[in-house]
Amino acid sequence: MTTIERPTRAFADLAQHDRVAGSLYTDPEIFAEEMSKIFHRSWVWVAHESEVPEAGSFKTTQVGDQPVIVTRDRKGNFNTLLNRCRHRGATVCDQRSGKANGFTCPYHNWSYTLDGRLRGIPYPDGYEGVVEKNDFPLQKLRTESYLGMIFATFNLDAEPLEDFLGDAKIWMERFLKQSNGFPTKVLGSHKFRFKGNWKIQLENTTDGYHFPMVHKSWMASVDAETASMMSFMDDPEAETHALGNGHSVAIMAAAHADLDIDDGSEEIQPRFQHLVDELTEAGESPERIRRYMRSMHGCGFNLNMFPNIAMSSSFFRVLIPISVDETEVWHMAIGMDGGPESINRERLRIHEHFQGPFGFGSPDDAEGWDRVQIGAGGNPNMPILVNRGEKREYLTDEGWPTSHVTDETGMRASYEMWKKMMTDD
């Protein structure tokens, strides 16, 4: 090869079954197309119900590159509103989260209700015969939730959320079993950015292959039982299923994939003995305590939902695309609302150990992703390989393409969805 030619822009050619073009990470025009064809059309996760617990609760976030407010209104309904005043475009809410009666633009004080209706305009005489308030609500996205997970879409014609989630719903339900019958509650969020494209993170959630290499220092720092639980490289039961619509599930610890199933063979980790003692003293039954302890590390799998949310072992992973080469990641710790506080606290410590900008895991992931972004800028005609395990992939009875958890079945599924959406004109 003596020259580097500008690669094709035909999306169908850029994402093939076993490889994708490096320009998918680096081309700003492709990123702009992804915003309009994927993030402005698909269901995008915006909040967990526990973040907007009562009437007036709100949080701000993004749907792709679009700033939105997620609210719970007086009727208890969830709303997702474009955070943009209808008058001159200022954001009407500048807080990360909180409680409010409505939102007032700071510029000329146009005010809106929790469900986005335009409530008041100061000095309205200038608008007589010009502006009818009913015609200028905040732009409202379609908003639906399933098992507490709230999604929104700009696409008013999108299929129902539950259809979009499809077989991912089975795994959402299994994931939430780690709350042991209590409502799931977001306990806090680690947020960081890396200098790389959003799909690098999307891939990583279903990338079992990197774990023992990138996270060697974390493995060296945990107790033997936890290290053993995450030693799935040669475990034939550790598999990844592609679930349709770009969703996939990567099972690292099969014994925890359904916490209702307990063959009794698992020893409770000695590191949790102080909790066992405390709960015993508090009068909890041995069966209940065993269940709590088995759920301490979460559910044993990463459920990766296209395009922006994962229910990942014991936390939610949210990705927010900032630009073609920058992505924000939130790792949201979860616990039991009303459950034993000692267990919630222990879960926070486990989360802090791996996640966040000073955790023993996340910074090493981010280092790898930064390096992918830099390296992938080299010869854009050289593909990114997503072919690991292609020849050992099989279909389960459910119809799920499946291979080992270290294989790239989940990535192939995501890129298949990417291609479908990007070529759907």
Footprint of other proteins (CB under 8 A): 96, 187-194, 214, 216-218, 220-221, 328, 333, 341, 344-345, 348-349, 351-353, 356-360, 363-364, 366-368, 370, 374
* Cα distance between residue 135 and residue 86, in whole Å: 10
Instruction: Identify the residue whose tokens are 């000695």.
Output: 270
Q: What is the 3-state secondary structure (H, E, C) of the chain?
A: CCCCCCCCCCHHHHECCCEEECHHHHCHHHHHHHHHHHHCCCCEEEEEHHHCCCCCEEEEEEECCEEEEEEECCCCCEEEEECCCCCCCCCCCCCCEEECCEEECCCCCCEEECCCCEEECCCHHHHCCCCCHHHCCCCEEEEEEECCEEEEECCCCCCCHHHHHCCHHHHHHHHHHHHCCCCEEEEEEEEEEECCCHHHHHHHCCCHHHHHHHCHHHHHHCCHHHHHHCCCCCCCCCEEEEEECCEEEEECCHHHCCCCCCCCCCCCCHHHHHHHHHHHHCCCCHHHHHHHHHCCCCCCEEEEECCCEEEECCEEEEEEEEECCEEEEEEEEEEECCCCHHHHHHHHHHHHHHCCCCCCCHHHHHHHHHHHHHHHCCCCCCEEECCCCHHHCEECCCCCEEEECCCCHHHHHHHHHHHHHHCCC
Least gap, CB of 339 to other proteins (angstroms):
13
Question: Which residue, 369 or 418, has its beta carbon nearer to other proteins?
Answer: 369
Least distance from C-beta 350 to other proteins, angstroms? 11
Gap between the Cα atoms of 83 and 92, Å rounded: 6
Q: How far is the CB of 141 from other proteins (least distance, A)?
A: 23
Nearer to other proteins among residue 357 and residue 399 (C-beta)? 357
Q: Kindly state the smallest distance separating residue 230's Cβ from other proteins, in Å.
A: 15
Closer to other proteins by Cβ: residue 119 or 191: 191
Shortest gap between Cβ of 341 and other proteins (angstroms)? 7
Nearer to other proteins (CB atom), residue 105 or residue 350: 350
CB-based contact 259:295 (threshold 8 Å): yes
Q: Rounded to the nearest whole angstrom, what is the least distance from the CB of residue 300 to other proteins in the complex?
A: 22
**What is the phi/psi pair of residue 238, to 5°?**
-85, 105
Angle between helices 273-281 and 286-294 (to 10 degrees): 150
Cα(346)–Cα(335) distance, rounded to whole angstroms?
10
Residue 205 CB, shortest distance to other proteins, in Å, is 18
- Residue 380 CA to residue 54 CA, distance in Å, equals 49
Minimal distance in Å, beta carbon 227 to other proteins?
13
In the complex, the smallest distance separating the C-beta of residue 333 from other proteins, rounded to whole angstroms, is 5
Rounded to 10°, the helix 341-354/273-281 angle is: 170
Q: Which is nearer to other proteins, 82 or 333 (CB)?
A: 333
Minimum gap (Å) between residue 192 Cβ and other proteins = 5
Residue closer to other proteins by CB (options 74, 216) is 216
Is the CB of 56 or the CB of 363 nearer to other proteins? 363
Q: How far is the CB of 354 from other proteins (least distance, A)?
A: 12
Nearer to other proteins, 342 or 423 (CB): 342
**C-beta of 74 vs 99, nearer to other proteins:** 99
- Between residues 91 and 423, which has the closer beta carbon with respect to other proteins? 91
Of 361 and 389, CB closest to other proteins: 361
